[in-house]
A and B are shown apart, each in its own frame.
Chain A
Amino acid sequence: MGGVSRIVAVLAWRNLWRNYRRTLIMLLAIGIGVWAMIFMSALMRGMTDQMVHNGLAVLPGEVQIHHPRYRSDPSVVNSMPSPTGELLAALEKPPVSAWAARVRVPAVIASERDSRGVTLLGVDPAAERALGSLPDEILQGRFLTDAADRGVVLGASLARKLDTELGKRVVIMSQDPDNNVADRGSRVVGIYRARLASNEEQFVYAGREVLQQMLTIGTAVSEVAVSANDYRQVDSWAPAIEDAAGDNLEVLTWMELDTFLSSMLSMQDGFTLILMVVIFVALSFGLVNTLAMAVFERVREIGLMQALGMRPSLILYQLLLESLYLLVLGLILGNGLAWLTIKPLESGIDISGVAQGMEMMGMGTTLYPALAYQDMLMSTAVVIVLGLLASLLPAWRAARLDPVRALNKT
Chain B
Amino acid sequence: MSAIICKDLCKTFRQGEEVITGLDNVSLSIDAGEFVCLSGPSGSGKTTLLNAMGGLDTPDSGEITVGSQRLDQLGKGELADIRLNSIGFVFQAYNLIPVLSARENVEFIMQVQGVPAAQRGQLAEQVLADVGLQGMETRLPAELSGGQQQRVAVARAIASKPRLVLADEPTANLDTHSAAQLMDLFVALNEDKGVTFVISTHDTRVMGYARRLVRLQDGRLISDEAQQPHGMAQA
Contact = CB atoms under 8 A, between A and B. Distances in A.
Given A309-B83, A404-B56, A3 B109 contact: no
A402 B77 CA distance: 13
B225 to A, nearest CB: 29
A15 B100 CA distance: 10
Nearest to B83: A309
A4 interface: yes
A3 B56 contact: no
B50 to A, nearest CB: 10
Contact of B84 (A7, A15, A309): A309
- Residues of A in contact with B, size category: 20 to 34
Interface string B81-93: 1111101010100
A234 interface: no
A307 B168 CA distance: 13
B83 A312 contact: no
Contacts of B107: 7
Nearest to A14: B99
A309 B109 contact: yes
Contacts of B117: 2-3
B97 A305 contact: yes
A307 B91 CA distance: 10
Contact of B91 (A11, A18, A304, A310): A304
A298 to B, nearest CB: 9
Contact of B94 (A14, A304, A312): A304
B29 interface: no
B129 interface: no
B97 A3 contact: no
Contact of B51 (A1, A305, A314, A404): A404
A246 B45 CA distance: 93
A10 B104 CA distance: 10
Given A311-B77, A404-B57, A4 B94 contact: no
B115 interface: yes
Contacts of B82: 309
Interface residues of B, number: 36
Contacts of A1: 114
B110 A309 contact: no
Contacts of B87: 309
A6 interface: yes
Contacts of B113: 3
Contacts of B110: 3
B80 A4 contact: no
A7 B85 contact: no
Given A307-B89, A309-B85, A403 B112 contact: no
A233 B76 CA distance: 56
B61 interface: no
B205 interface: no
A404 B41 CA distance: 20
Contacts of B227: none
A407 interface: yes
A307 B94 contact: no
Contacts of A208: none
Contacts of A2: 117
Contact of B120 (A3, A10, A11, A311): A3
Given A14-B99, A403-B56, A309 B80 contact: yes
Contacts of A6: 111
A122 B57 CA distance: 90
11 contacts: A3-B111, A3-B114, A11-B100, A301-B94, A307-B83, A308-B83, A309-B80, A309-B83, A309-B85, A311-B80, A312-B77
Interface of B: 51, 54, 56-57, 76-77, 80-85, 87, 89, 91, 94-100, 104, 107-117, 120, 156
6 A-B pairs with the lowest CB-CB distances in the bound complex, closest first: A309-B84, A3-B111, A309-B83, A14-B99, A7-B111, A311-B80
